[in-house]
Chain A
Amino acid sequence: MIAGRLLARGMIAGCIAAALAFVFARIFGEPQVDLAIAFEAARHGAEAHPHMAEAEPVSRAVQASYGLLTAIVLYGTAFGGLFSLVFAYAYGRLNTWSPRALALLLAGAGFLVFVLVPDLKYPPNPPAVGTPATLAFRTGTYFAMIGLSVSVAVIATLVGHALTRARGAWSGSLWAAGLFLVLMVVVQSAMPDVNEVPAGFPALVLWRFREASIGMQLVLWSSMGLLFGALAERALAHAPRRR
């Protein structure tokens, strides 16, 4: 039952963290999305992109509020669940840290592996950046990048764990980090590049958009880790007794 409790708490923590991330995205991300859409509209004139068309299926106001909130909450809840399952497996196995400390460690690792490392190769793009014709290719490479990042992280963790037993936590952790870094450099340089920024697209909007995107993820993962740590500590302290 404890695994189920942790899963539920992970999803709750992810959901609440997502609400905070939404506030960040709304303040820092949406202005850049609007600027990118304005660039797109100016470039295409009247005939534009699906969102600018006459019969907008979903208005900009809805996209920037309920739509954005829904997307982030689904994402946060999903990763909150996955995060809690990794935590449930790592607890008492990876190290002997307290639930709070382990949760923060894993949240940092999750941010690195699922967000920062894939984003270094395939950074988030605002509307107007990216050719619709290559969408399938870009989606494939993006998810492959995440898959490779996760695989390399698992390999580095296993190697680090084995070395920790033989040579202590300091050496084990450093070797794991070094191995992750080296393998990711190799993997990323082997993956195909995508460069579809249209000519004349304002560099500052692109940069600010990416900052907002990564900042929002940082808000999500850090608050999820802190929140889940507190919830998990209680669950682990109370649940095991009878049931």
Chain B
Amino acid sequence: MSYSAPSSRIAPVTGAAPIAIPAKALLPWAMFGLLLSVIMLYFVGAEQGALSLISGQDVHEFVHDGRHLLGFPCH
């Protein structure tokens, strides 16, 4: 929103120094993205393993091969 660009019509891809995105504009997206990613990684990496929110073994069993191959400890 407060990100400002050079007024030139030519895209600042090469040559011009890149303009940093203000931290204020980044923060809400960073919170949202971080939360989303942590939830996704939790279900792939740890649910029904070391920790368990949902009872049973179905989540663990479904992502089993991925969990091993992605390097997470698994049973």
Write out the residue numbers on chain A whose beta carbons fall within 8 Å of the beta carbon of B50: 135-136, 139-140
A71 touches B44 (CB 8 A): yes
The docked-state distance in angstroms from the alpha carbon of A142 to that of B33 is 23
Question: Could you tell me which residues of chain B, from 7 to 24, have a CB within 8 Å of some CB in chain A?
Answer: 11-14, 17-21, 23
A78 touches B41 (CB 8 A): yes
B13 touches A81 (CB 8 A): no
**Which of A49, A71, A85, A240 contacts B70 (CB under 8 A)?**
A71
Q: Which size bracket describes the interface of A in this complex? A: 35 or more
A51 touches B21 (CB 8 A): no
Say if the beta carbon of A159 comes within 8 Å of chain B.
no
B73 touches A135 (CB 8 A): yes
Q: Which size bracket describes the interface of B in this complex? A: 35 or more
Are A130 and B34 also in contact (CB < 8 A) when A85-B26, A125-B68 are? no
B29 touches A3 (CB 8 A): yes
B66 touches A68 (CB 8 A): yes
Write out the residue numbers on chain A whose beta carbons fall within 8 Å of the beta carbon of B40: 74-75, 77-78
Write out the residue numbers on chain B whose beta carbons fall within 8 Å of the beta carbon of A238: 11
A67 touches B62 (CB 8 A): yes
Say if the beta carbon of B37 comes within 8 Å of chain A.
yes
The docked-state distance in angstroms from the alpha carbon of A135 to that of B45 is 12
| B30, chain A: closest CB distance, angstroms | 5
| A213, chain B: closest CB distance, angstroms | 5
The docked-state distance in angstroms from the alpha carbon of A81 to that of B28 is 13
